[in-house]
Amino acid sequence: MNIWYFITERFNFKATLPLFTILWAASLSLTHWQIVSAIVLYISIFIGFFCLRATDDIQSIKVDRITHPERGLVSGRINSAQLTQAIWLMITLIIFVNYFWGNVLAIIFIVFYYILFFSFKNKLPVLLKPFLSSFAFGYIVIYTSYVVNSYISSAQVLLGLFIWVSVIAHEYAHSVDADNRAQFFALISLIGYLLACILGSIFWLIANQPPLFIIILMLSTLYILFLEIQLIKKPSSEQAVKFYINGFLFFLLPCLGLIIDQILM
């Protein structure tokens, strides 16, 4: 029951299923995939991100006692020891499944990456954390390419970078609060979204994709710039919360366009 409580509270399927389904399908659209590999990928991605979310929340219990005392891990409704055991069980399952299908190196790499990240997380500078914590989002594309085609093209690297930088920008924007660093974080977020737009545009040119991706990306960029101007003018948690969904839609909608283009081709 600890897992189910945690899912309903911190990993709600209404948000996570569309998020990871779009990223999974967009990554697959650049490959010549088979159904079995696609299923293994989806299970591994979904369980992997659940483990990341749960591990991050377990490590944040001390902080959440002050900022979010209502959460299950803080109140005791969710047993942290049992949730930790479940995390390691699921990681073992992912490694086993990927070993069976010959993809174990890609999984072992990301597992050790996040073991190191969480080991040093509290010692890392605040400005650096979003870069390291968000790495898994971009890695989805690399992992997919490795599993399905056993090679990684420049277009796939660029799509991964586009997603990764977008999530970094989202993290900075969503973290803005009314303090002396708020405008600085807002500016970093703005630079991040502009860089992501450039990376997405280069990806589109190199990958020689149909126009829907770039059309949606340009519209998403215009809207996110509008939100960023408001955030920079008045940096506050009220303005930052607008990025919670819109910051993800910035890269998810172009990725959805990429999927639609591939279906229509």
Domain assignment present for residue 186? The answer is yes
Q: What is the pLDDT of residue 180?
A: 58
Domain assignment present for residue 104? The answer is yes
- Domain with 184, as residue range(s), is 153-265
* Residues 121 and 177 reside in one and the same domain: no
* Residues 135 and 169 reside in one and the same domain: no
Specify the number of domains making up the chain: 2
- 100-138 residue pLDDT tens: 777 788 899 999 999 999 999 989 998 899 999 999 999
* Residues 28 and 55 reside in one and the same domain: yes
* Residues 16 and 124 reside in one and the same domain: yes
* Residues 128 and 10 reside in one and the same domain: yes
Domain assignment present for residue 261? The answer is yes
Sorted by sequence, the CB contacts under 8 Å of residue 33 that are 6+ apart come out as: 148
**196 exposure class (CB count in 10 Å sphere: 0-12, 13-18, 19+):** buried
User: How far is the C-alpha of 212 from the C-alpha of 225, rounded, in Å?
Assistant: 20
Residue 136 CA, distance from chain mean position:
6
Of 87, 114, 140, the residue that ends a domain is: 140
Q: What is the pLDDT of residue 33?
A: 85
- 173-209 residue pLDDT tens: 987 775 557 888 889 999 999 999 999 999 999 998 8
Residue in the block written with tokens 């299908």: 101
Domain assignment present for residue 32? The answer is yes
**pTM (predicted TM-score):** 0.93
Task: Tell me the average confidence (pLDDT) per consecutive run of 10 residues in the chain, 265 residues long.
Answer: 82 92 94 87 93 93 85 88 92 88 86 94 89 96 86 92 97 75 88 98 94 96 95 85 92 96 81
* Residues 82 and 191 reside in one and the same domain: no
Q: What is the pLDDT of residue 92?
A: 94
